[in-house]
Amino acid sequence: MSVWSYLLLGLATSVHCVAMCGGLVLTYAVKGEGVGTFPQRLKPHLAYQSAKIISYMLVAVLLGALASLAGSALDITGIRSWIMVVAGAYMVLLGLTMTGAFPALRRLTPRPPQFLVSALTRNRRKAVREVAEGDVGLGTPITFGLLTGLMPCAPLIAAQAGALSAASPLQGAVLMLAFGLGTAPLMLVFGLATSTLSGAFKRRMLVVAALVVVVFGLVILNRGAMLVGSSVTFQSVARMATGVETSPSDGYAVGADGVVEVRLTIRNTRFEPEVLIVPADRPVRILVDRQEDGACSEQIALPQFGVLEDVEAFAVTTVELPPTPEGTYTLTCGMGMMSGQLVVGGSTGGTGPLVAAVVGVGVLGVLLYVFRRRLGGVAK
């Protein structure tokens, strides 16, 4: 997931933020209503949003650090790939929960811990007391903002789950920074206006926000599936749906040492060709000619071989593979965004295409069901 995509996720789900945290905003927004200049009335809202974003980032760093420590302590190869799979699946389920069409899934969103409830209650009482005494400060909105990062809110949990699959805790924090900035504009407008949106509009936007979370979850789930070598991915579903086959390599060579050699070019964040065909049960040497310097193609991954190697920009990098039995293997980048295949022995059969078709139809059916039940119900 990119910074821009997380910014979009924050914008799309900010209506849910108003519904969940609007009461907190109103608690301190009332203090400045009709009093002071516009900058003075804006100050507590900026304080709240800044503290909230800092809280988002700190939680992301903490979760990312714990995941990294667990992976190092247990020496689990590819733990980040499986974290992406779990995080993506969890985001999908949370998005479906947000639609309200699946009440049984509400258990997936944890309840606020007692310490958080107590802290929010104390801060509310303090805010009311300050209003009565006319003693307006920034402590209340800052405290509310810092506590917001701990709220068991479905979009926030989904965003944190996605950030957990980032390459490092720092990258996860940057993604949460973008998410927090995305949620800020509508919250600022709401706080300054101290009014609510119409009920029908809010319900529609909540459903749209939920579906955005589902789509983002599917993207992360797909990237994880690519990195663990699953035969069921967006790409395999698309191939089944369109019937369009990817272009295979036009042959291979045999080096002086008897190793099969095949060339692979990376250009415009794509593999050329997208399918490499090599003989079975023979060692293979892939000559990777990377004609770009984009972040996505910095590494090449063949999950079934346990291969994840750095690829030098505008140079040729050699990737060695052991003798391999006949079959079709996943070829992708280190971020799980590029799609390719290594076909060994010329066989592309198996149950993968059939499973991909079934999964694709199932996902489409669920999304159509949600659209008809929730958006149709709101329209009535």
Q: Is the pLDDT of residue 336 over 80?
A: yes
Q: Which residues pair with 332 in a beta bridge?
A: 301
Q: Which residues pair with 344 in a beta bridge?
A: 278, 327
Amino acid at 108: L
Q: Which residues pair with 319 in a beta bridge?
A: 286
Report the percent of the chain where pLDDT is more than 70: 66
| pLDDT, tens digit, 9 for 90 and up, residues 155-196 | 787 788 777 767 678 888 888 898 888 888 877 776 666 544
323 vs 237: CA distance, rounded Å: 29
| 379 sits in which H/E element | helix 376-379
| Per-residue confidence (pLDDT) for residue 31, from 0 to 100 | 46
Q: In which band, very low, low, confident or very high, does the pLDDT at 76 lie, cut at 50, 70 and 90?
A: very low
| pLDDT, tens digit, 9 for 90 and up, residues 2-14 | 788 888 888 877 7
| Per-residue confidence (pLDDT) for residue 131, from 0 to 100 | 60
Enumerate domains of the chain plus CATH numbers: 3-227 (no CATH), 244-352 (2.60.40.420)
The structure tokens listed for 324 are 């391999």
Q: In which band, very low, low, confident or very high, does the pLDDT at 284 lie, cut at 50, 70 and 90?
A: very high
The structure tokens listed for 19 are 């519904």
Pick from 28, 22, 44: nearest CA to 148: 22
Assign 260 to helix, strand or coil: strand
Report cis status (omega within 30 of 0) of the bond before 39. no
| pLDDT, tens digit, 9 for 90 and up, residues 114-149 | 777 787 777 777 766 766 666 656 777 788 888 877
176 neighbors 1 (Cβ within 8 angstroms): no
195 vs 317: CA distance, rounded Å: 59
- Please compute the mean of the pLDDT values over residues 312-319 and round it to a whole number: 93
- Please compute the mean of the pLDDT values over residues 329-339 and round it to a whole number: 87
44 vs 28: CA distance, rounded Å: 7
The dihedrals phi and psi of 284, each to the nearest 5 degrees, come to -130, 140
- Please compute the mean of the pLDDT values over residues 201-209 and round it to a whole number: 65
Number of CB atoms found within 10 A of residue 358's CB: 14
| 336 sits in which H/E element | none
Residue 126: HSE in the Cβ half-sphere, 13 Å Cα cutoff: 16
The structure tokens listed for 127 are 């805010």
